[in-house]
Homo-oligomer: A and B are copies of this chain.
Amino acid sequence: MPQERPRPGKTRPGGRTAATRRAVLDATSEILVESGFSHLDLAAVAERAGVGRTTVYRRWGSAAGLAEDLLEDMAETSLGRTRLGDVDRDLEECALLVRKTLADPRQGRLFRSLIAASVCSEETAEALHRFYAKRVGEWTPCVHEAVERGELPGEVSPERLVRTVSAPLYYQFLTTPVELTEEDAVEAAQQALALARAGLLNRPWTDEGPGV
């Protein structure tokens, strides 16, 4: 059945469809923040969005379909990277942005819920991985540029470096009760850069090629 369903919200890029998709994704996001993926009920989303149930069932099909499309939307509208012309400052900005998102009560709960949802649904997991691949891919050019400027060794894996900035922040967020501070973010960037300069982040992130 799923293959008969057009990609959520993609049928008409503007106008009524776009407004419907926005309302549905906003409702999805609110329910994920308030009560989590296990309460992401299509009827409740339809009611909150002021959209007919049939539309929501037909276009999104399941809670996983909603979470998947929300992640797609978040990837599309995600803030671009800074370009400060200095990799230390660029990656510090990257870390501060991750920290700001996770430490924000609303955004933090949304990310927790989406990560939890990715446990229950393979589709959501794949959408989550695409979302992070896109985020990481926005920041890797500043590593390439830093190599050109001689700020980092040419052997460094840009994707591994950018992911290494995020790792301690996500770990602290997901497995400890300790609040993420700006100091945590600044240190995460400094640590990742120290590893890169020591030649410890040279192994390519994955065999699957760019963008994975």
Would you call A174 and B174 a contact (CB within 8 A)?
Answer: yes
Which of A7-15, A143-151, A189-197 forms contacts with chain B? Answer: A189-197
How many copies of this chain sit in the oligomeric assembly?
2
Q: Which of A174-206 contact B (CB under 8 A)?
A: 174-178, 183, 187, 190-191, 194-195, 198, 200-201, 203, 205-206
Question: A108 vs B114: C-alpha distance in the bound complex, in angstroms?
Answer: 18
Would you call B176 and A119 a contact (CB within 8 A)?
Answer: no
Which of A53-61, A88-96, A163-171 forms contacts with chain B? Answer: A163-171
Contact pattern, A 28-43, Cβ under 8 Å of B = 1, otherwise 0:
0000000011100000
Dominant secondary structure at the A interface = helix
User: In the complex, what's the smallest C-beta–C-beta distance from A124 to chain B, in angstroms?
Assistant: 11
A23 within 8 A of B: no
Residues of A in contact with B, size category: 35 or more
User: In the complex, what's the smallest C-beta–C-beta distance from A179 to chain B, in angstroms?
Assistant: 9
A22 within 8 A of B: no
Q: Which residue of B is nearest A197, CB measured? A: B198
* Known contacts A171-B163, A198-B194, A200-B194; is-contact A119 B113 (Cβ 8 Å): yes
Would you call A187 and B175 a contact (CB within 8 A)?
Answer: no
Would you call B119 and A175 a contact (CB within 8 A)?
Answer: no
Contacts of A70 in B (CB 8 A): none
User: In the complex, what's the smallest C-beta–C-beta distance from A100 to chain B, in angstroms?
Assistant: 17
User: In the complex, what's the smallest C-beta–C-beta distance from A3 to chain B, in angstroms?
Assistant: 22
A125 within 8 A of B: yes
Question: A37 vs B117: C-alpha distance in the bound complex, in angstroms?
Answer: 11
Question: A202 vs B100: C-alpha distance in the bound complex, in angstroms?
Answer: 23
